[in-house]
Chains A and B, each alone.
Chain A
Amino acid sequence: MLKFLIEKEFKQLSRDKVIPRLIVMLTLLVMFVFPWAADQEIKNVKLHVVDRDRSSLSERLVQKVVSSGYFRLSGPSASYDGAMPAVERGDADMIMEIPSGFERDLMRGETGRLLLAANAVNGTKGGLATSYMAAIVADYSADLRAENGLPALSSAFKVESSFRFNPRLDYKVFMLPALMVMLMTLLAGFLPALNIVAEKESGTIEQINVTPVPKTLFVLAKLIPYWIIGFVVLSLCIALAALVYGIYPTGSLLTIYLFTTVYIWLVSGMGLVISNYSDTIQQAMFVMFFFIMVFILMSGLFTPVSSMPQWAQAITAINPLKYFMQVMRQVYLKGSGFMELLPQFFALCSFAVVLSVWAVVSYKKSA
């Protein structure tokens, strides 16, 4: 019986004009577009320079700043007040004012003064740009002191940074594993659920409900094709990440596949629960949209969970996405083994059991 049902699902899927293309498009987007778009490194900060010293040293500082690659000159102004309108218009993100006497002070061995003003409407951008600038200026002063035979001042600001597990500070290494989690959620959770609701909407499910097909078999036949697709797509993603970006999991592939199996089981259950309570595709879509929003924002995909307020952290405890994302990132970046991920494993398994029991109980063949 199962054979015939699975055969039917594959036939229908292969004839569908939208879904297979959607799966391919989504995979390509996740692998080639999102990692760049979700990159939180700040580049091309528009810098307005108010150079009132007009000395060779001030010019050298400006050159050093620009050559760092993080800043782009948006134009000089004669005064700080003259530069403000540029910020207000959005033509500048940051103003650096070099006061007159900058070179003289430095040559005398006194402290050089700089005024930095960052537009902090986007707080992250403002903060990051300021710290980049601080690092560049510190580097600059160290250069100067070395040239003049002065000992490098250890008290001068020198940003001490060491980025563990992601030494190149490559944002893609961080985002790709998490984006794969998103992809699995959509493929194995939401697509089969929409498929079942579509059968309700068209009335074909009723023809199935009067047959002796056990409900578990019918649902299984719906899920199996998407499970297969899920694993194929995941393998493809892992291969592409290695080939295109040179990103390999530091940990074992086996751990990734083991957790993916549990996760796919979990999201399938979640999708089924949603489909059981929805009579129309529209309804199901809205419910899914709601959960996707909550899951993504509360998963740590973009913002670390540990920096959320306590109550928000409490909410993330019931977000299965969070656990699987942690697993994928830890295996990819830190090379964590199964034993270190036991808490996540138990959390995911519990979700999977609860959701699948709920899915079976709420499925009705008769009203």
Chain B
Amino acid sequence: MENVHNPVIRAVGLTKRFGDFTAVDHISFEVSAGEIFGFLGANGAGKTTAMRMLCGLSRPTEGEGFVAGYDIVRQSEAVKKNIGYMSQKFSLYEDLKVWENLRLFGGIYGMKEREIKSKTERILHELGLEQERNTPVRSLPLGWKQKLAFSVSIFHDPKVVFLDEPTGGVDPVTRRQFWGMIYEAAGRGITVFVTTHYMDEAEYCDRVSMMVDGRIEALDAPARLRRQFDVDTMDEVFRRLARRATRKGD
């Protein structure tokens, strides 16, 4: 339904300052429906802050943003109904069982009991976690935790899902599987907004933006960026841009 003129995410001069420090400096971009949008940058470049503003967790100091057609400041509760979010730090309930976490978040988004039940079965099957349904989440290995967290974030079929460093700390095989899940979600029409600092993952995205010192320095499809900078890998693109950085990573 949405077209290029009606993007799912739109940021216009979005800015966040903490005192004298400008974490995010007038960023503007648009993301269309069903797109996998990579939000790249070094640690401390302002990726997480920008994402938190779009999710309604942090109020922008300046500028405006729209997600799923709603204003992120004035209609933040409406935004929240239409998004999924997976934070950098694992934040499901560790003392709840696998199925209980799915049930809780399904219930929070207003899903019906029957819908929750059938969807839980399907997801446990897809993740191969049927044996682990009654395992407290704290005892799962990290890779499975991350996959479960992603499943929870799209459990209610949101229009957009925000993933903050979803593959941090997991092995290459799991990372590949994880991207499989992302593609599958995008195939169902969920727009994916993902931050990462693994440059090889940038290749999996439809378009990427490169953030340096709170500003977006480049934004295009990975292949076109490589051509533009006349290099072979995204890693090289990033290095060219990062050279301009003055800010220290954290």
Contact = CB atoms under 8 A, between A and B. Distances in A.
Do A and B bind?
yes
Contact of B87 (A3, A207, A212, A365): A207
Interface string A8-48: 10011001100000000000000000000000000000000
Contacts of A1: 107-108, 110
A167 B76 CA distance: 64
Contacts of B59: 366-367
B154 interface: no
Interface string B230-247: 000000000000000000
A213 B80 CA distance: 9
A11 B100 contact: yes
B42 interface: no
A186 B142 CA distance: 37
A4 B58 contact: no
Given A1-B108, A4-B107, A212-B80, A11 B96 contact: yes
Interface stretch (A128-136, A198-206, A275-283): A198-206
Contact of A203 (B58, B77, B89, B95): B89
A220 B11 CA distance: 35
A4 B136 CA distance: 18
B56 A366 contact: yes
Contacts of A213: 108
Contacts of B100: 8, 11
A210 B83 contact: yes
B83, B93, B109, B136: residue with the most chain A Cβ atoms closer than 10 Å: B93
A203 B145 CA distance: 15
B57 interface: yes
Nearest to A214: B77
A148 interface: no
Contacts of B55: 210
A13 to B, nearest CB: 10
Contacts of B94: 202
Contact of B107 (A3, A202, A207, A365): A3
Contact of B85 (A8, A202, A204, A210): A210
B81 A212 contact: yes
B56, B87, B95, B96: residue with the most chain A Cβ atoms closer than 10 Å: B95
A211 B100 CA distance: 17
Interface size class of B (residues with CB under 8 A): 20 to 34
A365 B80 CA distance: 11
A366 B108 contact: no
B40 to A, nearest CB: 22
B154 to A, nearest CB: 13
B92 A204 contact: yes
Nearest to B83: A210
Contacts of A5: 104, 107-108
Interface in B84-133: 85, 87, 89-96, 100, 103-110
A214 B78 CA distance: 11
A161 B130 CA distance: 76
A261 interface: no
Interface string B53-69: 00111110000000000
Contact of A366 (B57, B81, B93, B96): B57
Contacts, number: 75
A207 B85 contact: yes
A8 B96 contact: yes
Interface string A72-105: 0000000000000000000000000000000000
Contacts of A208: 108
B91 A212 contact: no
Contact of A211 (B92, B93, B105): B105
B51 to A, nearest CB: 10
Nearest to B78: A212
B57 A209 contact: yes
A44 to B, nearest CB: 49
Contacts of B76: 366
B80 A204 contact: no
A15 B81 CA distance: 30
Contacts of A214: 77
Contacts of A11: 95-96, 100
A143 to B, nearest CB: 70
Interface in A301-343: none
Given A1-B110, A4-B108, A367-B58, A204 B103 contact: no
A4 to B, nearest CB: 3
B104 A8 contact: yes
Contacts of B85: 207, 210
A207 B80 CA distance: 11
A4, A5, A203: residue with the most chain B Cβ atoms closer than 10 Å: A4
B192 to A, nearest CB: 16
B57 A367 contact: yes
A366 B58 contact: yes
12 contacts: A4-B103, A4-B108, A5-B104, A7-B104, A12-B95, A202-B94, A206-B87, A210-B55, A212-B81, A212-B109, A367-B57, A367-B59
Given A3-B107, A365-B57, 16 more contacts: A1-B107, A4-B104, A5-B107, A8-B104, A16-B95, A202-B91, A203-B90, A204-B92, A206-B91, A207-B87, A207-B91, A207-B92, A210-B80, A212-B81, A366-B58, A367-B57
